Amino acid sequence: MAGTPLAESSADPAQRLRPICLALPEVTERPSHGAPTWFVRDKRAFVTLWADGHHGNGFPHLWCAAPEGAQQELTAAAPEVFFRPPYVGGRGWIGVRLDVPGLTWAEIAELCDDAYRVIAPARLVAQIGARPHR
């Protein structure tokens, strides 16, 4: 996919992720369980960044809300990138490794957009318009 590969980016992942998430309507950021987390209307989380790993996963990764069925589809198609995260995996969220060659910030932005659309109310989703054709 097009975009800057994460492996070639020297920026702190939070610095790259922050403008992606904060560009969405009524999103706020605050730490949750010690990790940068983005919320819709300061209430419902949709993305958490574990830059130093978490809960036995010693690699940098995200936890993202995901549309129904996406967790199974993505973990089956690319298990080297996607995994079922602890705690939130039972609700369909996906874990995304950030240390995998070839993964781009454009792909991360798409995953964050999907996560937002799962969590945000319809009125806010309508503000960002239809999902781009992929």
- Digit-coded pLDDT (tens) for 106-120: 999 999 999 999 999
Residue 56 has pLDDT above 80, yes or no: no
- 66 lies in a domain? yes
Indicate whether 134 belongs to any domain.
no
Domain presence at residue 133: no
In a domain, 105, yes or no: yes
The boundaries of the domain holding residue 96 are 6-123
Confidence class for position 54, pLDDT limits 50, 70, 90: confident
Tell me if 53 is assigned to some domain. Answer: yes
Of 96, 99, 117, 95, nearest to 25 by C-alpha is 117
Query: What's the total number of domains in the chain?
Result: 1
Residue 131 placed within a domain: no
130 lies in some domain: no
Cβ pair 59, 97 in contact under 8 A: yes
Q: What is the pLDDT of residue 1?
A: 40
40 contact partners, CB below 8 Å, separation of at least 6: 24, 26, 27, 46, 116, 119, 120, 121, 124
